[in-house]
Amino acid sequence: SQSLVRPQPPRSCEDYWWEWKHCRGLRHAFHHYYAHGELPTCDRWREDYEACRAWEKGRAAAAQVRPAPPQRAAASSSGCLWTLRKSPPPDWYLPLDQDKPN
């Protein structure tokens, strides 16, 4: 029989805890209600935190952390999305060609 090895959670457990606390905060709840017309559901962050802790405590086979929702995943990634430049382009001072077709 082959044992299932669960991968390490994509984020630290403290990240899931912070996200859960942030989600439950009054300011976030008010903003979410204003923007979406309903209170946020924060259960997933708590479940992910508990699964992460279970994984840390013994790499429990039942502990599987789901990936973060897309809006949080992009913000929390450590990789750079853009290629960094060493200097500005040579024509940086010229006006943009916004009226020209591509």
CB neighbours of residue 18 within 10 Å: 14
Average pLDDT of the residues of the chain = 76
What domain range is 18 assigned to?
13-64
Asked, for residue 40, whether it belongs to a domain, the answer is yes
Structure tokens at 30: 């008010």
Confirm whether 47 is domain-assigned: yes
42 domain residue, yes or no: yes
Digit-coded pLDDT (tens) for 12-61 = 889 989 999 999 999 999 999 999 999 989 999 899 899 888 888 876 44
Locus of tokens 């403290």: 14
72 occurs within a structural domain: no
Of 43, 44, 65, nearest in space to 54 by CA? 65
- Counting the structural domains of the chain, the total is 1
Please report which confidence band the pLDDT of residue 66 belongs to, taking 50, 70 and 90 as the band edges: low
Output the pLDDT for position 31: 92
Decide if 16 contacts 43 (C-beta within 8 A).
no
